[in-house]
Amino acid sequence: MAVEPRRIYFGRLRKSMPHPEKYVVLSGTEKGITKITSVISKNNHIKTEVVPPETENKNKPQQIKVTVLPDMKVGRFNEVVTIHTDHKEKKKLTFYVSGEIVGNIAVLPSRISFGMFKKGGKYEKRIRLKAAPGVVFKVLDVKSTTPGLTPKIVTVKEGTEYLVRVSMEESFDKDIMNEKITITTDDKEQEKIVVNVSGRGYKQNLRRRKPKEGAGPK
């Protein structure tokens, strides 16, 4: 006895808009005679409902309809849903529900990485903030968690599109970058937008060894 599929991915969903329904079913030789007694999600914004088969065919299993409610908070979600059954052995089964709720402001990318960077070098990444159709917002402030990683607001189109230029200065001297950029806006749902910044620094050896005389491929 198992659940198919084990994972449901809703993708990116706009907050406060109707969201699609997805289904999971029981699989296995005893799926038709096993009764689902309850389905529990710890997240109150994920609704589950047991749907009986459309026909009286005993081999047809019950379906579970899964819906993400419109008032789910903005951000990524990854939740476990537990199915309780009357099966003699498989009393409890689980599946996963994941996706992302986007608000009035699209943040691209949602996280940035400088990858492997040379310590003492200078680099720049950009975060784009764009309003959904019919939405107007303002960027009020932007801050970094560490000196040497400097964010700057650039207005592309007043009220609807902004860039945050994140510059790594020569003074940044950490081996491991695990920082945050916090963008403050006047949008009630996305007042504080946090973008994680990662990377790993290395020191370049400026002196290259000279090959010994006579050394080389033969």
DSSP string for residues in 170-192 = TT---SEEEEEEEEEES-STTSE
Percent of the chain with pLDDT over 70: 89
Q: Is residue 113's pLDDT more than 70?
A: yes
Q: In this structure, are residues 41 and 72 in contact, taking their beta carbons and an 8 Å threshold?
A: no
What's the Cα-to-Cα distance from 148 to each of 2, 69, 99, 138, 199, rounded to whole Å?
52, 41, 34, 25, 14
Fold of 105-202: Immunoglobulin-like (2.60.40)
Task: List residues bridging with 80 in a β-sheet.
Answer: 96
Q: Give the mean model confidence (pLDDT) for residues 185-214.
A: 79
Q: What are the strands of the beta sheet with 139-144, ordered from one edge? A: 111-118, 192-202, 176-185, 139-144
Q: How far is CA 190 from CA 59, 78, 101, 104, 158, in A?
A: 48, 20, 12, 8, 18
- Rounded Cα distance between 142 and 149, Å, is 12
Average pLDDT over residues 145-154: 94
- pLDDT tens for 123-133 read 999 999 999 88
Residue 206: per-residue pLDDT: 44
SS3 73: coil
Confirm whether 2-102 and 105-202 share one CATH topology. yes
pLDDT at 61 exceeding the cut of 80: no
Q: What pLDDT sits at residue 215?
A: 54
Domain positions in the chain: 2-102, 105-202
pLDDT at 60 over 80: no
In this predicted structure, the answer to whether residue 178 has a pLDDT above a threshold of 70 is yes
Grade residue 2 by pLDDT with cuts at 50, 70 and 90.
Answer: confident
Calculate mean pLDDT across residues 159-187.
95
| Tens digit of each residue's pLDDT (9 = 90 or more) over 72-107 | 888 889 999 999 998 888 899 999 999 999 889 999
Superfamily (CATH) of domain 2-102: Immunoglobulins (2.60.40.10)
